[in-house]
Amino acid sequence: MLFYRYLLLLVCVCWVSATIASNLFKTSAQHEQGRSIYNYRCYFCHGYSGDANTLASTYLIPPPRNFTRTQAADLSRQTMIDVVTAGKPGTAMHGFSRLLNAQEIAAVVDFLRDEFISNQRTNTHYHTLENGWPDHVRYRSAFPFATGAIPLDRAWEQLTPEQSRGKQLFLTSCVTCHDRAIVSDEGEIWSKQSISYPRNNYSHTELDAVSSASIYARHDIPPAVKNLSVEAARGKQLWQQNCAFCHAADGTGENWIGSFLEPKPRNLTDTAFMREMTRELLVLRIRDGIENTSMPGWKNVLGEDQIHQIISYIEQAFHPLKRQ
């Protein structure tokens, strides 16, 4: 009898152990699924480490949520699921129900809560061989600017020759992903011109950074337009500050960020699309946004006259509008 009791106990222990192991595997698999979704869908606004220290955060009002400064008790799991599913009105956060199923939404929410809110982890170590970064240590001179050990706006004359090379390398190869890094003074030196290169195929040994940069480089160069009207010239500046981040400086939406968005940002140089576009319709879309897309409403950021200035620039730089 004692033997059978022992055998039964052993079977129970094995069953519990197997169940725990299975649940741990499922939890780990779901966590990595959430990580994969986050790194593809969410990082360019919320940052790889969930701290919203991104270029996007400097454009969006209100800025993307910083999950590292969020307490789990202040933001419930269900609320997060609802926001990821349906979006959040008045912000650039749109719903993902068209792109993700309920299980995938739960996975990315649970990843956020565990990785950033509860444990303050740094997420993916991006610079790996698997991600296309062989011998990343060759960029070591730029590391102090990426980590913030040296402020990016420290004067060139205060840097050693090695640090100067590192700063130049950071500005040409790293700043797109690492955004503005750390600065001592948030002054006028920072331009809001949006760039999305270099990402791929970049060689920092070339003298011409643009020609040797990634396939997205050409889309971050505004078209040369002569004789812009006063209104369009003002619109050009507003376009660079607010629109080029997604639609690209050349209006095609073919830049790096645009390649991630679904549906893709509109190509405002495309005749098939633009031949029926009117000023009135563009005003509505810019002012109120477009549901189920990444296009937010700009009515709380731009005045009516500024929206018209942007449209004047679109018409003169990218494609004429239909006259009613």
pLDDT of residue 319: 94
pLDDT of residue 206: 41
Would the pLDDT of 301 be above 80?
yes
| Rounded Cα–Cα distance for residues 80 and 154 (Å) | 40
Q: Longest C-alpha distance within the chain, in Å?
A: 99
Lowest mean pLDDT among 25-29, 193-197, 237-241, 267-271: 193-197
Closest-CA residue to 243 (of 267, 278, 216)? 267
DSSP classification of residue 323: P
Helix (H, G, I), strand (E, B) or coil at 94: strand
Lowest mean pLDDT among 168-172, 189-193, 222-226: 189-193
Question: What residue ranges do the domains of the chain occupy?
Answer: 28-118, 136-185+195-218, 221-317
Would the pLDDT of 291 be above 50?
yes
Q: Which amino acid is at 208?
A: D
Assign residue 301 a region: left if phi > 0, alpha if psi is -120 to 50, beta otherwise?
Answer: alpha
pLDDT of residue 188: 52
Average pLDDT over residues 170-199: 63
What class has domain 28-118?
mainly alpha
Lowest mean pLDDT among 42-51, 195-204, 306-315: 195-204
- For residues 6 and 148, the model is more confident at 148
Q: What is the mean pLDDT of the chain?
A: 81
pLDDT of residue 208: 43
Lowest mean pLDDT among 37-46, 83-92, 196-205, 286-295: 196-205
pLDDT tens by residue, 61-91: 888 999 999 999 999 999 999 999 999 988 8
Average pLDDT over residues 252-261: 83
Residue 59 contacts residue 192 (beta carbons within 8 Å): yes
pTM equals 0.48
Closest-CA residue to 64 (of 302, 305, 296)? 296
Would the pLDDT of 192 be above 50?
no
Would the pLDDT of 55 be above 90?
no
Would the CATH topology of 28-118 be identical to that of 221-317? Answer: yes
pLDDT of residue 175: 76
Q: Looking at the domain 221-317, which fold is it?
A: Cytochrome Bc1 Complex; Chain D, domain 2 (1.10.760)
Average pLDDT over residues 121-129: 76
Would the pLDDT of 203 be above 50?
no
Average pLDDT over residues 135-142: 88
Alpha-helical (H) ranges within the chain are: 2-41, 43-46, 77-86, 102-112, 143-147, 161-169, 175-178, 230-242, 244-247, 271-274, 279-288, 304-317
Which residues, 6+ apart, have CB-to-CB distance to 208 below 8 Å? none
Q: Which amino acid is at 64?
A: P
